[in-house]
Chain A
Amino acid sequence: MKRHLWTLAVLLSHWRRRPFQLMTLVIGLAVATALWSGVQALNVQARQSYDQAARLIGGDAFASLRPTNGTNFEQALYVTLRRAGWDVSPVIEGDVRIADRSIRIVGIDPVTLPQGAGPITRDALDDGPETADGSGESRAVRLLTAPSLALGDAETVAALGGVDTRPTLGNGGQLPPLVVATSLPPETLVTDVGVAQALLDQPGRLSRLILTAAPETRSQSLADLTGGALERVEPDDQGDLERLTDSFHLNLTAFGFLSFLVGLFIVHGAIGLAFEQRRPMLRTMRACGVSARALTAVMLLELTTISALAGIIGTVAGYVIASALLPDVAASLRGLYGARVAGELSLQPSWWLAGVAISVIGALVAAGSSLYRAWRLPLFATAQPEAWAGAEARARRWQLAAAVFLAAIAIGVLLQASGLVAGFVLMGSVLLAAALLLPSALVGLLAIAQRLVRGPVAQWFFADARQQSGGLSLALMALLLALAVNIGVGTMVDSFRQTFTGWLDQRLAAELYVGARDPARAADIADWLETRNDVDAVLPVWDAETRYRGFPVEVFGFSNHPTYSDHWPLLASLPDAWSEAEAGRAVLISEQLARRFALAPGDPIDIAAPGGDWDGTVAAIYSDYGNPRGQVMIAVDELVARFPHAERGNFAVRVAPEAVDTVMDDLTAAFGAGTVEVVDQRTIKDISQRIFDRTFAVTLALNTLTLIVAGIALLASLLTLADARLPQLAPLWALGLTRRRLAAMELIKAATLALLTALLAIPLGLAVAWILTNVINVEAFGWQLPVYAFPEQWLRLIVLALITAIAAAAWPALSLRRMPPTKLLKVFADER
C-alpha cells in the first residue's frame, strides 16, 4: 500500500512542475461538468415542477372524467353523476393575473376529495390544526367556511404578499387568506371549488371530476348519463406538459452534451500531453520495480482523484450557471408551453453525485488511450526511436479513417433514419468527422502556403506552423467545434428571428387587440366598436379546445375579411382556400398539426366537437411558430355552432392607423380597465419578441460558454507547448533572428492557425444550421425555417477567434521575448 502511495506521489510530482497543465485538465473537466450538470439541473428542476403539477389532485393516482371537447362543463353533470352512484369529486382549474403574475387557481371540494389524492390531502389539508389564527380548526374545515383559504407553496405565497394576506386579482376579485402548504407546484393556489369558480368567472362550471369509484351496477353508461360530454381518462404519471416539453429538454440536453464534448477534447489533450511528457518517468518507475498493473492502477487512482475534485468544482459551477439561467428557462417554458416552473433550484443529493460521476467517467473516457499506452508501455526505448513526423502522420491517417466512417454514419442517418435522436446523431457525427479532418486540412493548407511563399524565414514559418498544428490540434478541434456550433445556432436563431418578425407582421395585421375581462360584456364592447367611424372592422378571435387523434388542438374561429386572406402566412393552399373555409366546407391547419399527422391541402379531416363532430377538408397550411399545440382555423359561425362554450371575449380590430390611440383611450373610458383590456399591435409584437428572445437566451448562453471553453483550451495548449517550442526557436535565435521577431512570429502563427480554423468553421457552421432547422427543429417543434446567411456574424466570430488565439499566444510569446539567453543556450547544452 505504502509502495503505491509513493508511486502516486512520484506521479503527482509532475503537476508540481507543470501547474498550467494541471489547470487545463481541471478547468476542462470542471467546465465540461459545469455545463452538463447545469443543464441537467434545469431539466430536473422543470420536471420536478411538472411532476408536482401532474400529481396535484391525484392526477397520477386516480382516473378522472374530463370534458370531451376540452372546455369547462356544467356543474349539473356532477350532480347527475353523484345521484347515479358515481364516486366523483369536482375540480376547477384556470389562470388569473395577480399583480402582473399569472397564477393557476385550482378549486377542490374537501368533502368529496378522495384520501390520497395528491399532495393536497396528504400534506396540505392534513397539516392539522396549526393554523395561523390558532382557531384550532383544520384546514379542510377552514377551506369550507368563508372566506376560505388559498394554499400555495412557500415561494408563491411569499411572492404574493405573505401568509394571511388577501391579494386582489386583475379582474377585481379578492383571494381568500394565503396559507403555505408543502408539495404544491409553483405559481399555483388551491382553494374551495366555489371560491375558485367565482375567482375564475366560471360560476357553476367545472374542469374535471376525480373518479374514486364507478357504481358496481351501472344502469346507464357514462356517455348516456352525460350526453357524451365527459370521458374517462386513466391516471397518468406523465402529464401533457411533460410530453409537450420533451423536445425542449432534449434540445437543452443536446447542447449540454455538446459543451461537455468540447470540454472532453481539452481533457483528452491535457491527459495525452501529460502522458507523453511522463513517458520517461513511467519507464524509470517500471525499471525500478513498479509492475504494469500497479502503475496503471495508481494512474487510475490519480485520474479519479483529480477528476472527482474537478467534478466537485464543476458541479458547484453548474449550480451557479443553472441558477443564473433558470429564470430565462422558466420564462420560455411559460411562454411556449404555459408550464409553471419554480424560480429557485432545489436539487437532490443524487444530482450532485451524478455531477461528480460524469466528471470521473468523462475523464476516464478521455484518458482511455493514455491509460492503455501506460499499461502496454515498452520497458526500454526501442533502438530506433519513431520519427516524430511518422507518428503524427499515422495519427492523421487514423483520424481520416475515423472521419470517413463517421461521415458514412451521417449519410446513412440522413437517408434512412428519422426522429429527434437520429437528428442529434447526425449532428454529432458531422461535427466529430469535421473535427477529425481538421488536422489534415490544416496541414494541407499550410503545405500549399509554404510552397507559395519565398524566402527562408517565410518558409520556415509555414513549415513550423504545420509542425505546431499537431500539438495544438486538439485545442484547434475544440475551437472549430465551438465556432461551428456558434455559427450554426446563431444562424438558426437569427434566421428564426427574421422569419418570426415577418410572420408576426402577417399574423398581427390588426391594429388593436381587445379582450373582455367580463365575457358577458363582450358583445357590448363589439357593438360599441362597430358604431365608430374610425373602426373599419371588428373581427372575432374566438377559440375552443379539442383533440385531434389525442393531440391537443386549438380551434380558432375567423370571419370573412381581407385581413386574413391578404396577410395570413400560408405555406401551402388550395386555390380557393379562403372561400371554402368561409363556407364551412374546409379548414386551415397549422404546420405543426400538418407535419405531425402528415396532412396536406385537400386531405379530409374530422374535428371532435360537443355540438356535433365536424367533417371537411384541409384547405391550407399556415405557419404557427412557437405553439406546442396544433391549431385549426374554422369559420366563426361553425365554431359557434359546434363549440357552444368557446371563448368569445377577444377581438381583433382594424382601425385607421392615426386613430389607434383615440380608440384605445375611448374604449377604456367607456368600459373601464376592469372590463376591457386593449393592446396595440406594437405591444403584442414586443411581448412576442421578448418571449422569443428569452426562449433562445439559454441556448445562446451555453454557446458563449462553449466558446470561452475553447479559448481556455487554446490558451492552455499554447502554454503547455511553450516549453516544447524552445528547441525549435533556439536555433533560429542562434542564427540571428531577434527574440522580439521570434515572439512576433509566434503570435502571427497562432493567429494564422486560428484564422484557418475559423474559416473552416463557417461551412461547418452552416451545415449545423441546416441540420438544426431542417432536421432537429422539425422533429422537436414541428416547424421548418428558411436559413439565411449572416456574414457579419461570421466576421464577429472570426475576430473573436483571432483575439482568443492572440491572447492565448501572448503569454508564451512575451516570455520568449524576455527569456534570458542562458535558457535558450541550454537547449544546445542538452543536445550533447
Chain B
Amino acid sequence: MLTLRNVSKTYPSAQGPVHVLRGIDLDLPAGQTLALTGESGSGKSTLLHLAAALDAADGGEIVVAGQSLVGMGDSARAQLRRERIGLVFQQFNLVPSLKVRENLAFQARIAGRHDPAWVESLTQKLGLSKLVDRYPEQLSGGQQQRVAIGRTLACRPNLILADEPTGNLDEETSDAVLKLCLDLVEQTGSAFLMVTHSPRLAGLLGRRIHLSAGRLA
C-alpha cells in the first residue's frame, strides 16, 4: 500500500543543508501495522509528511495505493489524500468551530463517500455517542483524539498515517485509544503507520523500524 524507494529529503538552513533523510526504503502492504521510532529531530515527521503527499521528496520514489507521487501536482495530491490516506496528528487538529458529529463526518463528506451507518457505528465503538453535540474545546484530550481517529476511519482510507497520536495523552488513555484504533484498523483492512516515542506502544504494532541519522535500521 505504501512503498518508499531510496527516498531522500534535505532542508536548507543557515548552517548549510540538513540531510534529514538519506535513502529510505520501506514497504507497508495493506492490512499491516508498522511503528516508526527515532530520536526527536531524527526526521520521523518528515518521512510521514512525504508519505502523506503533504511535501515532496528530493530524490527517490514514493508509491501510495499504486500511484507514484513523483511529479504529482497539488490537485492530484489533494485527491489522493482525500480518497486514500487518513492522517492523525499529535495535536488532534479538529476543526474548533464544528461539533463532534460534524468533525467525524467532515473528511468523508469532502471525499464524497459519507456513510451515515458507518459513522454511527464508529461513534459507538469509539464511545463518542454522548458527546456528538459538543465542540472540541469541551472535550478531554483522549476524547479529542478519538474523534480524530473516527474522522480518519470514517472515509475508509487505504493508508493511515499517525504522527505521535498519543503524545498528548497520559499512559492509560494512550493504551486505550491505541487499542481501539488498532481494532478498527483491523476491521477496515487499512495499512497503518504510526510514529511513536514509546517502545511500549511500538510493541503493540505488527512491525517496528527505527530511524537514525537519516537511515532506517
Q: Specify whether A and B are partners.
A: yes
Smallest CB–CB gap between A18 and chain B, Å? 8
Q: Any chain A CB within 8 A of the CB of B129?
A: no
- Whether A14 pairs with B97 at a CB distance below 8 angstroms is yes
- Whether B78 pairs with A289 at a CB distance below 8 angstroms is yes
> Which among A17, A284, A292 has the highest number of chain B CB atoms within 10 Å?
A284
The answer to whether residues A286 and B78 also contact, given A379-B54, A380-B54, A832-B168 and a CB cut-off of 8 A, is yes
Smallest CB–CB gap between B140 and chain A, Å? 9
> Which among B97, B109, B151 has the highest number of chain A CB atoms within 10 Å?
B97
CA distance A280 to B102 in the complex (A): 17
- Tally chain A residues at the interface, Cβ within 8 Å: 27
CA distance A2 to B110 in the complex (A): 8
- Whether A293 pairs with B96 at a CB distance below 8 angstroms is no
Q: Any chain A CB within 8 A of the CB of B82?
A: yes
Q: Any chain A CB within 8 A of the CB of B94?
A: yes
Question: Who on chain B is nearest to A826 by CB?
Answer: B137
- Whether B106 pairs with A6 at a CB distance below 8 angstroms is yes
The answer to whether residues A292 and B74 also contact, given A287-B87, A379-B49 and a CB cut-off of 8 A, is yes
Q: Any chain A CB within 8 A of the CB of B81?
A: yes
Q: Any chain A CB within 8 A of the CB of B83?
A: yes
- Whether B97 pairs with A288 at a CB distance below 8 angstroms is no
Question: Who on chain B is nearest to A17 by CB?
Answer: B97
CB contacts under 8 Å to B, within A288-320, are 288-294
Give a binary string over B39-81; 1 marks a CB under 8 Å from any A CB, 0 the rest: 0000001000100101100000000000000000011011111
Smallest CB–CB gap between B12 and chain A, Å? 13
CA distance A503 to B141 in the complex (A): 77
> Which among A13, A289, A294, A832 has the highest number of chain B CB atoms within 10 Å?
A289
What residues of B have a CB within 8 angstroms of the CB of A18 in the complex?
97
- Whether B98 pairs with A288 at a CB distance below 8 angstroms is no
- Whether B54 pairs with A280 at a CB distance below 8 angstroms is no
What residues of A have a CB within 8 angstroms of the CB of B55 in the complex?
379-380
- Tally chain B residues at the interface, Cβ within 8 Å: 34
What residues of A have a CB within 8 angstroms of the CB of B54 in the complex?
287, 379-380
- Whether A281 pairs with B95 at a CB distance below 8 angstroms is yes
Question: Who on chain B is nearest to A11 by CB?
Answer: B97
CA distance A728 to B75 in the complex (A): 41
Q: Any chain B CB within 8 A of the CB of A283?
A: yes
The answer to whether residues A293 and B110 also contact, given A288-B81, A288-B82 and a CB cut-off of 8 A, is no
- Whether A289 pairs with B79 at a CB distance below 8 angstroms is yes
Give a binary string over A250-291; 1 marks a CB under 8 Å from any B CB, 0 the rest: 000000000000000000000000000000110111111111
What residues of A have a CB within 8 angstroms of the CB of B33 in the complex?
none
Q: Any chain B CB within 8 A of the CB of A225?
A: no
Partner of B78, one of A280, A291, A832: A291
CA distance A287 to B74 in the complex (A): 12
- Whether B74 pairs with A291 at a CB distance below 8 angstroms is yes
- Whether B74 pairs with A289 at a CB distance below 8 angstroms is no
Give a binary string over B95-123; 1 marks a CB under 8 Å from any A CB, 0 the rest: 11110001000110111100000000000
The answer to whether residues A16 and B78 also contact, given A10-B106, A380-B54 and a CB cut-off of 8 A, is no
- Whether A17 pairs with B96 at a CB distance below 8 angstroms is yes
Q: Any chain A CB within 8 A of the CB of B93?
A: yes
Smallest CB–CB gap between A822 and chain B, Å? 12
- Whether A281 pairs with B97 at a CB distance below 8 angstroms is yes
- Whether A290 pairs with B78 at a CB distance below 8 angstroms is yes
CA distance A586 to B43 in the complex (A): 93
Partner of A287, one of B45, B52, B83: B52
What residues of A have a CB within 8 angstroms of the CB of B85 in the complex?
289
- Whether A3 pairs with B75 at a CB distance below 8 angstroms is no
Smallest CB–CB gap between A23 and chain B, Å? 16
Partner of A13, one of B74, B77, B97, B109: B97
26 pairs from A and B in contact (CB 8 Å cutoff): A2-B109, A3-B110, A3-B112, A13-B95, A13-B97, A13-B98, A17-B96, A17-B97, A280-B96, A281-B97, A283-B93, A285-B95, A287-B52, A288-B151, A289-B78, A289-B82, A289-B85, A289-B107, A289-B110, A289-B111, A290-B110, A293-B74, A294-B78, A379-B49, A379-B54, A379-B55
Q: Give me the 3 closest cross-chain CB pairs, A-B, nearest first.
A: A289-B82, A291-B78, A289-B81
Task: Give the A-binding residues of B (Cβ under 8 A).
Answer: 45, 49, 52, 54-55, 74-75, 77-83, 85, 87, 89, 93-98, 102, 106-107, 109-112, 135, 141, 151, 168
- Given A10-B106, A287-B89, A288-B107, 14 other A-B contacts at CB below 8 A? A13-B95, A14-B97, A17-B97, A17-B135, A281-B96, A284-B93, A288-B81, A288-B110, A289-B85, A289-B110, A290-B78, A290-B82, A379-B55, A832-B141
